[in-house]
Amino acid sequence: MTDASATRKASVPWQNARIVRIVRQTSRIKSFFFAPPHPFQHLAGQHVDLRLTAPDGYSAVRSYSIASAPGSSGEIELAVERLDDGEVSPFLHEVAEVGDEIELRGPLGGHFIWTAADGGPLLLIGGGSGLVPLMAMIRYRRSIGSDVPTLLLLSSRTWEDVLYRDELLELDSSGDGFSLMLTLTRGVSARSGDYSRRIDAAMIEEALARLPVAPRHVFICGSNPFVNTAADASLAAGLAAPIIRTERYGT
């Protein structure tokens, strides 16, 4: 993080946001809907910091992408995957309840974002819960009635692990220029035209062939190994490095 970025981040105040809903999305991912006392407007792809503080004063801070579309209600949706070795996600999954207040600050981030003015086409590549900031872009695109050609290549373990599966399938059938490609690494897809292997250059080439013209922007989000593999595969498929933006998540 640059000094300027750190200064901007430090200027964003913490606030106690109340959990108003909790929705289980998959066996390992829950959506937490927060109502900040001072609502803020975010851009698609931005995130918030979440801070937990123990009675002895020890605190843990983690960054979580916002799944909500910009301009939606004052609620902020964070879809959090439970990571067994994490400090924050196990607490959210096992302890946090509706009505609890948790410290948040945001919106944060200015690199991994998309606005209508940026245009397209878009190639979005996500792994597991790395879909979350991409979902904000997809929801924002729909909310403004955009017809920018957009293809989401999403990697999940199994069919049951596909985050926002029903919503994505509905969007895929809407005929508004959005397309969904799924690849399952530990199962067989229920749809023809999907894949059952890890993302590679050949799969990226197939995704490019489904877009009407070459993408103007490529966004990749997931774990460190996933992002490295997907970015390398994108370059091997002939995509230019300057159009590729990446975001990585941890515990």
CB 89 within 8 A of CB 29: no
Query: In this predicted structure, what is the pLDDT of residue 6?
Result: 54
Q: Where are the domains of the chain?
A: 3-108, 116-248
- What SS3 string covers 191-237? CCCCECCCCCHHHHHHHHHHCCCCCCEEEEEECHHHHHHHHHHHHHC
- Assign residue 87 a region (left: φ > 0; alpha: ψ between -120 and 50; beta: otherwise): alpha
Q: What is the pLDDT of residue 250?
A: 59
Here the tokens at position 115 are 């606005």
Q: List CB contacts of 11: < 8 A, sequence separation 6 or more.
A: none
Statement: the pTM of the whole predicted model exceeds 0.75: yes
pLDDT tens by residue, 96-142: 999 999 999 999 999 999 999 999 999 999 999 999 999 999 999 99
How many other CB atoms are found less than 10 A from the CB of residue 200? Answer: 16
The encoded tokens of residue 19 equal 């959990």
CA 123/CA 40 separation, integer angstroms: 28
Phi, psi at 224, each rounded to 5°? -55, -50
Which CATH number among 3.40.50.300, 3.40.50.80, 3.30.230.10, 3.40.462.10 corresponds to the domain 116-248? Answer: 3.40.50.80
Sign of the four-CA dihedral 155, 157, 159, 160: negative
State which residues of the chain have pLDDT below 50: 1, 3-4, 7, 251
Whether residue 201 contacts residue 237, with contact meaning beta carbons closer than 8 Å, is answered with yes
Q: Compute the distance between CA of residue 226 and CA of residue 191 in angstroms, rounded to an integer.
A: 23
Cβ atoms of residues 76 and 68 within 8 Å: yes
Identify the residue whose tokens are 């996933």: 226
CA distance 127 to 219: 12
The reported pLDDT for the residue numbered 5 is 54
- pLDDT value of position 191: 87
User: At the topology level of CATH, where does 3-108 sit?
Assistant: Elongation Factor Tu (Ef-tu); domain 3 (2.40.30)
Within its chain, how far is the Cα of 217 from the centroid? 16
pLDDT at 125 (0 to 100): 98
Instruction: Look up residue 95 and give its DSSP letter.
Output: T
**For residue 140, which phi and psi values (nearest 5 degrees)?**
-65, -45
| Residues making up the chain, counted from first to last | 251
The three-state secondary structure class of 175 is coil
